[in-house]
Structure 1
Amino acid sequence: MVMIGVPDSAVNVLGGALETCSNAPLTGFFRDGCCNTSDQDAGCHTVCAVMTRAFLDFSRSRGNDLAASGPGFPGLKAGDRWCLCASRWLEAYRNDCAPRVVLAATHMKTLELVPLEALRSHAQGTEH
């Protein structure tokens, strides 16, 4: 039985346990620090990415200003980790401005939209 509002199995794109993406700022569809997802997450917020100015500008140009603060949201800056929509990350990748990805903190469901090779090519540090 699937319960509404309960995260899907927490497995990362490498096949291991999903690691925390960020607790400061607190990220994730469930605001649990992880890029967990469920059927309620229409945006598929599953990619743990390290924000860059270029990506934040790109996102703003697409109508989602992640740098702007709002109620309960501090706004993001370069260097912050955040769970991005897989489709937005892929769009940025195709436009040569995708941010680095933390593979161990990126949910397996991402692979339904984004090829592992694309994620690996933008892996943070030595995660390739």
Structure 2
Amino acid sequence: MQLAERRNVLGGELATCSNNPRTGFFRNGCCDTNDADLGAHVVCAKMTDEFLTFSKQAGNDLSTPVPEYGFPGLHAGDYWCMCASRWKEARDAGVIAPVNMEATHERVLELVPFDELLACAEIKPREAE
């Protein structure tokens, strides 16, 4: 299956989110997506202790390693391609995982308004200031 166009929420080329740990639906370091990615793993978010706790309590334990799947477990400071719906659920509950706008796929805009992402941007892009 082919990847969707590699554009970020700012309209530029999609940047790498993380290679250590290697993230993305395709585990290629980017928040690439296509029709097979039903969870829309398109938000490049910087993990925080609060976000990891929220996610675990919501049924998605991202902090515990799962060696049989090559998953190292995440720590505060790691970047990860999050499901758009889980990121929004946390944000709506007041739990913020800062967003790398350059590495967040434009598909997220189907679920999350640009202004919500921008309010949580780790570094505000110049053209949006």
TM-score (norm 2): 0.94
User: 1:71-112: per-residue Cα shift (whole Å, max 9, x none)?
Assistant: 200000000000000000100110000200000000000000
Which residue of 49, 71, 76 corresponds with 1:53?
Answer: 49
Q: What's the CA shift for 1:126?
A: 3.2
Q: Specify every segment of 5 or more residues in structure 2 that has no aligned partner in the other structure, as ranges.
A: none
Residue matched to 1:108:
106
4+ long deviations beyond 4 Å: none
Mapped to 2, the partners of 1:32 and 1:94 lie a distance apart of 29
Structure 1 residue 7: Cα displacement: 1.3
In the TM superposition, what are the counterparts of 1:32-43 in structure 2 within 5 Å? 32-43=28-39
Tell me the equivalent position of 1:44.
40
Secondary structure in structure 2 of the residue aligned to 1:74: coil
1:94 maps to a residue whose letter is D
- Cα deviations across residues 36-56 of structure 1 (Å, max 9, x unaligned)? 000000100000000000000
Tell me what 2:60 maps to: 64
Report deviation, 1:11: 0.1
Q: 23, 28, 46: which one pairs with 2:24?
A: 28
Q: How many residues get paired?
A: 124
% same residue: 52
Partner of 1:101: helix, strand, or coil?
A: coil
1:90, 1:98 within 8 Å by CA — same for their partners in 2?
no
